[in-house]
Structures are given as C-alpha cells and as structure tokens.
Amino acid sequence: MLDRHCLYIGIFQLIIWVGVANGEFYSSVDSMQDLAQVEEELLNATRSYVESQQKQLDFYRRYVEQIKREHEWATSQLKLDDYLGHPLHAFRLIKRLVRDWDSLIFEPILANNAREEFRAFVEVLSRDLGYPDQSELQGAIKGLARLQKVYNLATSDLADGIIGGLNYGSDLRWRECYEIGVQLFDLGEYQRSLEWLQVAFILLRNSPREEKDADHYLSDIREYASMANFELGNPKKAARLLSQILESQPTHSAQQTQKYLESRVPGKNVQETKPSWFSNYTRLCQGRRLPEERSGDPLRCYLDGKRHAYFTLAPLQVEPVHLDPDINVYHGMLSSKQILSIFEEADKEEMVRSAVAGSGGEGTVRDLRVSQQTWLDYKSPVMNSVGRIIQFVSGFDMAGAEHMQVANYGVGGQYEPHPDYFEVNLPKNFEGDRISTSMFYLSDVEQGGYTVFTKLNVFLPPVKGALVMWHNLHRSLHVDARTLHAGCPVIVGSKRIGNIWMHSGYQEFRRPCNLTSDSYKSLAYRD
C-alpha cells in the first residue's frame, strides 16, 4: 500500500567500532570486528613463530651436516688415533663439544625462544583482548537456529550458503555442520540438531576421499543422530542407527550409548508451544502483511513544513504507517555524517550486552534481547541536534527524555515482542512512564532486522537516517498495549539504532494533536 522507500537515501558506510570488554561477541557485528582483529594477530604471531622456527631448524640442519662431514672424514681415516694425534684436530673436537654444541644447538633447542614468545603472546591475547569461549560458540549457533525458526530457512540451503535466495558463496563443510548439530543437541534443539547432522552425513559421505577416517566420522554422526532421535521419541530409529554403527565397528562407543539409551525412557515428541504472538511476528518479520480490513483512506506520505519553524526550509518527510495508535516514519532525519559522529560518541563509551529492564530496574541478560548497547547524553554537538530534532518533531520537552540508547545487533540479533512502557515500577529518576518512543535507524540492514508491531500488522524495514516515532501511552496516560513491537533477527548485515524514550511527566499538554489519533475508546484494547 505504501512505498516504504518514499525518500530513501542510502550511503553505505563502514564503521569500525572497537572495544568490547567481556562482551558476548556474536551479538554484535561491532564486537565481531574485534574478533577479526584477534584472528589477524593470531595469524601474524603464528606466522612469525613458524618462520623463526624454520630459520632455526635450517641452521641446525646446516650445522649438523657440517659436523657430520668432519666427523665422517675423521672416523674414515685409517687410524683415528693419528687424526686425533694432530693438535689442531684435537683442539677442534674439544672446542666443538665444549662450545659449539652447547651454544649453537643444546641451548637454543632447549630454550626455544620463539615458542616462549608465542606462549606469552597467547597469554596476552586471552587476557587482554578477550577470546571467545564455548558459550560464544553456542550463542552463534543459537543465532543461526533463531534465524531458521523466524525466517523458515532450510538447513540444506543454509549449509549451501544460500540465504533469502542469495548465494553468499560460503557453504559449510561437513565438520562445521556436524559441530552445529552437536551444539544444538546439547542445547536440547533435537529436531534442528538432526537436520544438521543429516546434512553433515551427506556432505561427508559424498566426499569420503577428503577425509582419512571417513567411516569413523560417519559413525560419530550416526551416534548423535541416534541420540537426537531417542530424545524426539523415536527409540526404534535410534536403535537402528546404533546397530548400523556396531555392524562395521563393534568396538565403537555406540556400545555404551546403546546401554545408556536402554536404561532410559525415550523423549516425547512434544510440539513446541509457541507464544501467541509468534505467527504474527514471523509473518511480519518476513515482510508479509495480512490483507488489511482497514477502513478509510489509505495512508500517504506527505511533507510537513509547519510543525516547527525548524522545518520551514526542509519540510519533514512524513510516512504515516499506522493511525491509531499513530506510528510515523520521518525520513532523512540524520545525515551519514551525523550518524558517523554518533558512532564516534558511542565509541567513547563501552558497549555492554543489552540487558532487558527487569521489574526491579535491574537488567538481566537473556536471549530475549540480543544486542550490544551504550547510552549517550545530549551534550555533544551531534547529540544536541538529535535532541532538537526529537523536541521539534514530537513537541515534547527534552527534560523528560532518557539518554539515547545506541544499540548494535549482529547476525541473529533480535528483540522479541515487548512494550516500551514500564506500567509498574517506574524508574525513580523520571517523572511518569515512557509516553513515546523515537527510534533512529543508524544503518541499513542487508537482510532482516525489521521493526514489527505484532498486533497492528505493521512491519518497517530499517532505512538509514529515518526516525520512527509512536506513543506508548493513551492520552489518558494509560498504557497502550497495542504498541507491542519487536526487532526481528538480523539475517545479513548489522543493525544499528538509536532509541530515545520520553517520559510523560508534565508533557500531557504538549502532545500535539496531529500526532495523536487515538481516543479513549481504544482503552478497550488494554490487555
């Protein structure tokens, strides 16, 4: 119905953003860049280790050859006594043994400075730069599983490097698919685990010559597949897979697994219970709307130069996306240069994995929200402009504004449906609840990362420089439960947004009529 790209201007910018201490890397592309840096340093260090070892070994080889020649010549003389009876020969043998072997061979071999340097480097690496651990790997794999779930990505496509019909030319090897299958098994995602194990099995079987112990690995895959089947309530299939292994390899650990499974009750094939919002959420995340039973005129983009003198020369480019409650997109609000300055400000702060505001105001890190975030006040020149934009567009007093939260979502990064208001346990440093949300898109996203309103049939693809604004409260200041919204997982790319939440204290008379089309009757929508 609307052309979402009414006023779309996109300039791709590469932003380097470093410095995540103890961050969880997979949740943000920014922190993934740190990991790329870590790997580059590892590469450099390993290469120089190998080179210096190589040099050292070449030296030893030459030395040994030289001594060998002399030694053979001496011992091949008819009389070794005659040879050693020569004073210079005797001197050289003793000198070699006392000096040369010791300083040129024994010492460097035993000290192995290159190895010690490498050891020190690895210590620094894991202490200062942060090195991903098992939980990071699980996080990355969970991210993949999440993408599959929300976007219906077939495991075989993903393994082929195909996402959203595009081939990114990064197909996975059997070992990687196997690793994903094993991790998903450990996470209790048995169905998904089985799919990955099957892909791994096929890949390995089709390229057995590349792998020395192909049969052995095929058995390992079967063993995991057996356990996954058992957990999924298919004990017969599980038993069949194990006996297939034992036919060809009677001593395989499948023997123990067989005994173990026999002692246990098979899992039940339970259908996962999905939250009520799930089908709306996935549909909208995929950019599919329900046919609208909307009454009245379709919404149209328009220019607004009257809202504030600030917009007389450069009118607001408004794209209304929903009337009641009102959701508007304002295009071209921030230039690429301003966005870069915002990132520079954010760079000065340390990004920490986003916590979800809990009832006590204390955040907890959960999979509900997967991103990295930081907070910016309005003191710097660029943030001062941001504050003015919010004030002029919304008509609200910035005294009620929280600092801007800058968040970065990496692949699989998401925020499940949530309202922005608190309703209970309001934060003490602000007057009233969060009356409005202003969200700047600070990047385009190659695939995924839409903002969706699950109760309103609205999805918004991120458009760099645009601002989305809506009210979370009715005019009565009661919460408007229809504003439930979500950030869909990023499929390809990096999503950056800046959120400003405005509190309602003393703002009730400033709420401009034009932004508010809800009425008291919509209170009936409250959950």
Strand bridging mode 404-409 / 372-376: antiparallel
Structure tokens at 371: 């991103």
Per CB under 6 A, the segment of 134-142, 273-281, 389-397, 422-430 that binds ligand NAG is 273-281
Minimal distance, residue 231 CB to ligand NAG, in Å: 30
Q: d(Cα 430, Cα 398) in Å, to the nearest integer?
A: 12
Q: d(Cα 62, Cα 58) in Å, to the nearest integer?
A: 6
Q: Which is nearer to ligand NAG, 278 or 375 (CB)?
A: 278
Residue 41: CB atoms within 10 A of its CB come to 14
What residues between 441 and 470 interact with ligand NAG by CB under 6 A? 454-455, 457
Q: Comparing C-alpha atoms, which of 454, 493, 434 is closest to residue 164?
A: 493
Q: Is there binding between residue 280 and ligand NAG (CB under 6 A)? A: yes
Q: What are the residues facing 167 on neighbouring strands? A: 162
Binding test (CB under 6 A) with ligand NAG, winner from 60, 277, 375, 525: 277
Minimal distance, residue 402 CB to ligand NAG, in Å: 27
Q: d(Cα 217, Cα 474) in Å, to the nearest integer?
A: 61
**H, E, C per residue of 245-306:** HHHHCCCCCHHHHHHHHHCCCCCCCCCCCCCCCHHHHHHHHCCCCCCCCCCCCCCCCEEECC
Q: Is there binding between residue 49 and ligand NAG (CB under 6 A)? A: no
Per CB under 6 A, the segment of 38-46, 83-91, 195-203, 403-411 that binds ligand NAG is 38-46
Q: If DSSP codes are grouped into helix, strand and coil, which group holds residue 458? A: strand
- Burial class of 17 by CB neighbour count within 10 A (0 to 12, 13 to 18, 19+): buried
Minimal distance, residue 280 CB to ligand NAG, in Å: 4
Q: Which is nearer to ligand NAG, 389 or 456 (CB)?
A: 456
Minimal distance, residue 328 CB to ligand NAG, in Å: 11
Q: Which is nearer to ligand NAG, 53 or 457 (CB)?
A: 457
Minimal distance, residue 257 CB to ligand NAG, in Å: 42
Q: Which is nearer to ligand NAG, 176 or 326 (CB)?
A: 326
Q: Comparing C-alpha atoms, which of 204, 217, 208 is closest to residue 245?
A: 217
Residue 290 near residue 269, CB atoms below 8 Å: no
Q: Which is nearer to ligand NAG, 113 or 514 (CB)?
A: 514
User: Hey, CA dihedral for 282, 486, 461, 522, is it positive or negative?
Assistant: positive
Q: Is there binding between residue 234 and ligand NAG (CB under 6 A)? A: no
Residue 296: CB atoms within 10 A of its CB come to 6
Q: d(Cα 385, Cα 404) in Å, to the nearest integer?
A: 12
Q: How many residues bind ligand NAG (CB under 6 A)?
A: 14
The angle formed by the CA atoms of residues 386, 389 and 391, to the nearest 5 degrees, is 110
Residue whose C-beta lies closest to ligand NAG:
457
Q: Is there binding between residue 276 and ligand NAG (CB under 6 A)? A: yes
Q: Which is nearer to ligand NAG, 135 or 514 (CB)?
A: 514
Minimal distance, residue 455 CB to ligand NAG, in Å: 4
**H, E, C per residue of 184-231:** HHHCCCHHHHHHHHHHHHHHHHHCHHHCCCHHHHHHHHHHHHHHHHHH
What residues between 297 and 336 interact with ligand NAG by CB under 6 A? 304, 306
What residues between 502 and 521 interact with ligand NAG by CB under 6 A? 513-514
Binding test (CB under 6 A) with ligand NAG, winner from 290, 313, 424, 524: 290
Minimal distance, residue 348 CB to ligand NAG, in Å: 22
Minimal distance, residue 88 CB to ligand NAG, in Å: 47
Per CB under 6 A, the segment of 39-47, 63-71, 154-162, 235-243 that binds ligand NAG is 39-47
User: Hey, CA dihedral for 15, 439, 368, 148, is it positive or negative?
Assistant: negative
Q: Is there binding between residue 51 and ligand NAG (CB under 6 A)? A: no
**Residues lying near ligand NAG in the complex (CB under 6 A):** 40-41, 44, 276-277, 280, 290, 304, 306, 454-455, 457, 513-514
